[in-house]
């Protein structure tokens, strides 16, 4: 009987999250207000373009208890997804199917770039692992980079997408 109690205690202790992860979850939980999203798109030898745009109309809700992520704009839900806490510096958003749409300002992209953006959008899975570059009680900076193969008419390239999101409480 004593062995069973010790074994159960060890199992329960191993399920406890490290203190730094718990602290990050507390900081992340809640509503964050958009500041800016910057997309840096690189196709070696073809283009290297930076697309910053204001996101002050966005509210991002992270529910670390239920494991959900929701993005709203002016009362309209733009996206919802599952949220996984991987560590104190990495989160994964699963199923954010509209992320490319709200992450880019299409007005900033010249005509030739729109079909490429549409192709990029069709290749994007909506599953993204973000590095937490900064998290405080008032500021959140998320980042990922990914290589996305894109083909449009005679254009083919592996586009590196460096994506940074800036949020504040």
| pLDDT for residue 112 | 63
For the whole prediction, is pTM greater than 0.85?
no
Cβ atoms of 96 and 128 within 8 Å: the answer is: yes
Please report the pLDDT score of residue 117 as a whole number. Answer: 75
> What does the pLDDT read at residue 86?
96
pLDDT at 15: 59
Structure tokens that stand for 143 in this block: 């980042």
**pLDDT per residue rounded down to tens, the chain (169 residues):** 544 443 343 344 445 889 999 999 999 999 999 999 998 989 888 888 888 999 999 999 999 999 999 999 999 999 999 999 999 999 999 988 888 777 877 777 766 677 777 777 777 777 899 999 999 999 999 999 988 888 878 878 888 989 999 999 9
Cβ atoms < 10 Å from Cβ of 163: 21
18 vs 5: CA distance, rounded Å: 22
pLDDT at 152: 77
CA distance to 24, 85, 129, 134, per residue, from 90 (Å): 10, 7, 7, 11
Best CA proximity match to 54, nearest among 34, 76, 78: 34
55 membership: H or E segment, kind and range: none
Q: What is the pLDDT of residue 5?
A: 46
Domains contained in the chain, CATH given: 18-168 (2.40.128.280)
Residues 53 and 163: their CA atoms lie apart, in Å, by 12
The per-residue pLDDT for 12 is 46
Which residues make Cβ contacts (< 8 Å) with residue 162, sequence separation at least 6?
39, 40, 41, 42, 143, 144, 145
Q: Which of 133, 110, 108, 102 is nearest to 51 (CA)?
A: 108
pLDDT at 45: 85
pLDDT at 94: 94
Q: Give every CB contact of residue 97 below 8 A, 6+ residues apart in sequence.
A: 79, 81, 126
């Amino acid at each position: 009987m004593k062995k069973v109690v010790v074994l159960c205690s060890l199992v329960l202790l191993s399920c406890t999250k490290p203190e730094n992860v718990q602290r990050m979850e507390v900081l992340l939980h809640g509503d964050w207000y958009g500041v800016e999203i910057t997309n840096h798109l690189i196709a070696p030898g073809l283009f290297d373009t930076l697309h910053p745009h204001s996101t002050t109309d966005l509210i991002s809700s992270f529910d670390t208890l239920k494991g959900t992520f929701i993005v709203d704009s002016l009362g309209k839900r733009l996206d919802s997804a599952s949220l996984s806490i991987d560590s104190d510096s990495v989160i994964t958003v699963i199923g954010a199917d509209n992320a490319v749409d709200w992450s880019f300002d299409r007005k900033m992209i010249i005509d030739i770039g729109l079909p490429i953006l549409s192709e990029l959008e069709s290749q994007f899975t909506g599953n993204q692992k973000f590095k937490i570059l900064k998290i405080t009680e008032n500021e959140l900076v998320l980042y990922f980079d990914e290589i996305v193969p894109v083909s449009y008419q005679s254009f083919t390239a592996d586009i590196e997408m460096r994506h940074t999101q800036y949020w504040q409480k």
